[in-house]
Amino acid sequence: MTLQFADEKLKGDREIVLAAVKSSGLALEFAAEKFKRDRDIALAAVTQTDFALEYVHESLMRDRAFVLSVIAQKPSALGDFVDVVHESLQCDRDIRMALCRASLLWGRGPHGFGFLGFGFES
């Protein structure tokens, strides 16, 4: 399902948008703006493809719970961690630990997500 050429009314329907991003995460680009801020829809889009992260509203990249959900569902989406996650969360211990675990599980090693330039020191 694509939203690119859909009527604006359809782009504003939550069920339609959710189905579209589950099919193609990049459909988030054409969804109504409010859905780019919707945690469930944004997470479904990013889970479908890492590239959907480009269309997720920046407010969600400041949302600790959302970032942890992305790491749990699709850690590869945060490949350029320092370019994607808001700076206020870049030193968050739980986020860093989740990324470390995910990078090891994905076989990327400790440098797999490009975030080790930031220390865990308190």
Distance between CA atoms of 52 and 46, rounded to whole angstroms? 5
Which pTM value belongs to this model?
0.79
Distance between CA atoms of 116 and 119, rounded to whole angstroms? 7
Q: Where are any strands of DSSP class E within the chain?
A: none
Can you give the pLDDT of all 122 residues of the chain as single tens digits? Answer: 578 889 899 999 999 999 999 999 999 999 999 999 999 999 999 999 989 999 999 999 999 999 999 988 887 777 766 677 888 888 899 988 888 887 776 555 444 444 444 444 43
Q: Which two structure tokens, joined as six digits, stand for 73? A: 């569902």
Q: Where are any strands of DSSP class E within 13-121?
A: none
Distance between CA atoms of 122 and 8, rounded to whole angstroms? 49
